[in-house]
Amino acid sequence: MNEHVNDVRGAVSVIKDKVDDLHEWHNKTDQDGIPLWYVRRSLEESIRELGEKIYLQIEIQTEILRHMEKMEEYYRKKPEREGSNGSNVAGTKP
């Protein structure tokens, strides 16, 4: 009977150690007192929205860059279209 009691005592001790370890992990908090293993739903949603807005900004900036490249090309070729002597300048007659 003592052997059985010792086995049970050992098993309970193992379970106690695991529960203590689990409690230690879940008992750690950040500076605001929020448990570290817990992610607030509002924080998760805010991060997701921020990612979407960053993606949108990248798309907008890419589109602006495309327009700027077209404008640069247009103004680079403008003297070729007007002729080398500038005869098509505003205020002059062709």
Looking at residue 20, its pLDDT comes to 95
Looking at residue 5, its pLDDT comes to 83
Q: Residue 38 in contact with residue 30, Cβ under 8 Å?
A: no
Looking at residue 89, its pLDDT comes to 52
For every one of its 94 residues, what pLDDT tens digit does the chain have, with 9 covering 90 and above? 788 788 898 999 999 999 999 999 888 888 888 788 777 788 889 999 999 999 999 999 999 999 999 999 999 988 887 775 555 555 555 5
Looking at residue 31, its pLDDT comes to 85
Residue type, 24: E
Q: Residue 26 in contact with residue 37, Cβ under 8 Å?
A: yes
Residue with the two structure tokens 């605001």: 32
∠21-24-29 over CA atoms, to 5°? 155
pTM over 0.75: no
